[in-house]
Amino acid sequence: MNKLYTEDYIVFLLYFIIVSGYGYYIYKKKKSSSSDSKAFFLAEGSLTWWAIGASLIASNISAEHFIGMSGSGFALGLAIATYEWMAAATLIVVAIFFIPVYLRNKIYTMPQFLATRYNNSVSTTMTVFWLLVYVFVNLTSIIYLGAIAITSISTISFGWCVTGLIVFSVIVTLGGMKVIGYTDVIQVLVLMIGGLVTAYLSLSLVSENFGFGSDVLKGLSILRAKADSHFHMIFASDHPYYKDLPGLSVLIGGMWINQLNYWGCNQYIVQRALGADLKTARNGILFAAFLKLLIPVIAVLPGIAMFVLHQEGMFQQEMMDSHGTVKPDHAYPILMNLLPVGLKGVAFAALTAAIVASLAGKANSISTIFSLDLYKKFINKNASERSIVRTGRWAVIISMVIAGLVAPALQTLDQAYQFIQEYIGFIAPGVLAIFLMGLFWKKTTSSAALTGALLTIPISTILKFLPGITNGTFPDYPFIDRMSITFLFIVFVMVVMSIAVPEKDKHHEIIIDKKMFIVTPAFTIGAVIIVGILAALYTVFW
Both 287 and 374 in one domain: the answer is yes
| R_g of the chain computed on alpha carbons | 23
Both 80 and 16 in one domain: the answer is yes
Both 373 and 503 in one domain: the answer is no
Tell me if 387 is assigned to some domain. Answer: yes
Is the predicted pLDDT of residue 1 greater than 60, yes or no? no
Both 214 and 274 in one domain: the answer is yes
Q: How confident is the model over 52-85, as pLDDT tens digits?
A: 898 888 888 877 777 778 888 888 888 888 889 9
Both 321 and 247 in one domain: the answer is yes
Tell me if 199 is assigned to some domain. Answer: yes
Both 251 and 195 in one domain: the answer is yes
Phi and psi at residue 442, in whole multiples of 5°? -65, -25
312: how many CB neighbours lie within 10 A of its CB? 12
Both 287 and 379 in one domain: the answer is yes
Is the predicted pLDDT of residue 34 greater than 70, yes or no? no
Both 248 and 109 in one domain: the answer is yes
Is the predicted pLDDT of residue 386 greater than 60, yes or no? yes
Identify the bridge partners of residue 326 per DSSP, sorted by sequence position. 320
The sign one gets for the Cα dihedral 376, 382, 384, 387 is: negative
Query: In 373-415, which residue ranges form alpha helices assigned H by DSSP?
Result: 385-406
Tell me if 33 is assigned to some domain. Answer: no
Q: How many CA atoms lie within 13 A of 279 on its CB side?
A: 3
Both 299 and 408 in one domain: the answer is yes
pLDDT band at 36 (very low <50, low <70, confident <90, very high): low
Lowest mean pLDDT among 178-187, 264-273, 281-290, 510-519: 178-187
Instruction: Specify the CATH number for the domain of residue 78.
Output: 1.20.1730.10
What integer best gives the mean pLDDT of the chain? Answer: 84
Tell me if 383 is assigned to some domain. Answer: yes
| Residue 402, CA distances (Å) to 68, 320, 333, 405, 462 in order | 24, 33, 28, 5, 31
Q: Which DSSP state fits 340?
A: P
Is the predicted pLDDT of residue 508 greater than 70, yes or no? no
Tell me if 457 is assigned to some domain. Answer: yes
| Residue 438, CA distances (Å) to 4, 64, 428, 431 in order | 52, 32, 15, 11
Which residues, in sequence order, are CB contacts of 314 under 8 Å at separation 6+?
209
Say how far apart CA 530 and CA 524 lie, in whole Å.
10
Both 477 and 328 in one domain: the answer is no
Both 404 and 272 in one domain: the answer is yes
Tell me if 395 is assigned to some domain. Answer: yes
Both 225 and 167 in one domain: the answer is yes
Q: How many domains does the chain have?
A: 2
Closest CA to 342 of 11, 2, 20: 11
Residue 335: domain span: 6-27+49-415+519-540
State mean pLDDT over 204-213: 84
Tell me if 40 is assigned to some domain. Answer: no
Tell me if 455 is assigned to some domain. Answer: yes
State mean pLDDT over 291-301: 89
